[in-house]
Amino acid sequence: MNRIKVLLENLRRGVVTEQYPFKPIRVPERLRGKPVIDPDKCAGCGACVNACPPNALTMRDDKHSSMRFIVLFIGRCIYCGKCEEACPFGAIRLTREFELAAENREDLYQVVGLRLYHCPLCGEPFTTVRLIKRVVEALPEEQRAAATLCPRCRESVTAHYRSYARR
Amino acid sequence: MKLYRRSLWVFHLNSGSCNGCDIEILNALAPRQDAERLGVKLVGSPRHADAILFTGPVTREALPSVVRAIQAVPEPKIVLAVGACACGGGIWHDSYCVLGGIQGLYRVLKSMGVAPPKTIYVPGCPPKPEAIIHGIMLARGLAGQRQARSEYFEEQGPAVKAEEDLHRLFHKCFPGRLPPKTARVEWGVTRY
Ligand code: SF4
Ligand code: SF4
Ligand code: SF4
């Protein structure tokens, strides 16, 4: 009797196979798919690079061309969403895209190149222009100038001015 | 690209994956996604196969068997690197006991004098069964590639101007004597 019940149930249900490659499927609302960096929002801060568990996101500073490259290799991404959580500017987002098959390994990369910011005192590049600009805009007027220095120079400059104040 | 006109017989090769991708491959063959209606048949021996569904980051233990299995597949063959592990080493990419995905395997094959086969990368951890089917369709030339490389380089002109403005802001606020230059930090190092 049980088998007949199963048979009837299956007849009632009909075909369950999806028509996938010929018809699009219904993608779940909260599917974590391909991460995409919005290059206009990204400031090259590197928070996502620190958060990424498999190092799908890497960062490289090229001193000669004065550029910082944030490189996303989708082939290594595990779609954990940590980068999205870490990004302070909401620049990196996980889309619902999942059809990522590629014939070429090069197609799996996204590169964002941003100009490096040089310290006005020691001349060393330490972060991107865009990030310093955003930091300066967010700070109150009297703290802005110190924020334009690299951490080491800021330390020595503030110590220098404090020693003047003591005398 | 049309690599295979006819049915694609696949051999499932696990090179030390966590089983996530293998389960998704089985899902792709099960009734709901049913890759068999597209002519995909799972075969038991690499000698009968046209394609390899390759999963895992290639552990050292698996390497000899993996190389033998790949060599046993008759030409022309195609490899579908399924999952983040096979595509780029995934979460294990810098572990001492793996070769870091299919690129590491190809390095070994090259050192043996074997040309690496044509490869299709199917990223995901694990990829959805539909993503695997999309990879198979790409191999058969029935679907187009959606993924493309994207590059963005900031415009130099406005960035240089913004930098000069920031430097001017600094020199306006600290016009006095400044301390000597601090020790130089070595930059330009690759950071992971
Ligand atoms: S989703 Fe996870 S693995 Fe992928 S880029 Fe973001 S942090 Fe890295
Ligand atoms: S955390 Fe956001 S702003 Fe910072 S580098 Fe990553 S994507 Fe760009
Ligand atoms: S890609 Fe993810 S699911 Fe697939 S074998 Fe590697 S860790 Fe497991």
CA-nearest residue for atom 8, ligand 1, is: A52
pLDDT tier for residue A80 given thresholds of 50, 70 and 90: very high
Residue B165 located in a structural domain: no
Is the CB of residue A138 less than 8 Å away from at least one CB of chain B? Answer: no
Q: What residue spans define the domains of chain A?
A: 27-115
* Token digits of residue A88: 């302070």
CA-nearest residue for atom 4, ligand 2, is: A45
Based on the structure, what is the number of domains in chain B? 1
* Token digits of residue A15: 């075909």
The whole-angstrom distance between A1's CA and the closest CA on chain B is 25
Is the CB of residue A32 less than 8 Å away from at least one CB of chain B? Answer: no
**What's the CA gap between B31 and B22, in Å, rounded?**
16
pTM higher than 0.90? no
CB contact under 8 A, B152 and A132: no
CB contact under 8 A, B178 and A136: no
CA of B65 to the centre of ligand 1 (A): 31
pLDDT confidence of residue B3: 57
The pLDDT tens digits for A129-144 are: 999 999 999 999 888 8
Phi, psi of B82 (to 5 degrees): -100, 120
Residue B145 located in a structural domain: no
pLDDT confidence of residue B105: 92
Q: Give the pairing of strands B190-191 and B150-153.
A: unpaired
SS3 A121: coil
- CB-CB: which of A18, A61, A78 is closest to B84? A78
CA-nearest residue for atom 6, ligand 3, is: B85
CA of A88 to the centre of ligand 2 (A): 7
Q: How many percent of chain B have pLDDT more than 70?
A: 89
For the A27-115 domain, the top CATH level (class) is alpha beta
Cβ A70 under 6 angstroms from ligand 2: yes
Residue B42 located in a structural domain: yes
pLDDT confidence of residue A89: 93
Is the CB of residue A48 less than 8 Å away from at least one CB of chain B? Answer: no
- CB-CB: which of B94, B181, B187 is closest to A61? B187
Mean pLDDT by 10 residues, chain B (192 residues): 72 92 92 88 91 93 92 90 92 91 92 90 92 90 88 92 91 69 45 40
ipTM value: 0.84
What per-residue string of b and e applies to A122-136 under the rule 16 or more CB within 10 Å gives b?
bebbbbbbbbbbebb
Residue B146 located in a structural domain: no
CB contact under 8 A, B185 and A157: no
Ligand 3 pocket, Cβ-based, cut-off 6 angstroms: B 17-18, 20-21, 55-56, 83-85, 90-91, 125-126
Nearest CA in chain A to B128: A98
Mean pLDDT of A157-164: 69
CA of A65 to the centre of ligand 1 (A): 27
Q: Are A37 and A74 in contact (CB under 8 A)?
A: no
- CATH number of the domain to which B12 belongs: 3.40.50.12280
Ligand 1 site-directed mutation target among A31, A58, A80, most atoms within 8 Å of CB: A80
Residue B149 located in a structural domain: no
Q: What is the mean pLDDT of chain A?
A: 89
The residue written with tokens 């601090």 in the block is: B182
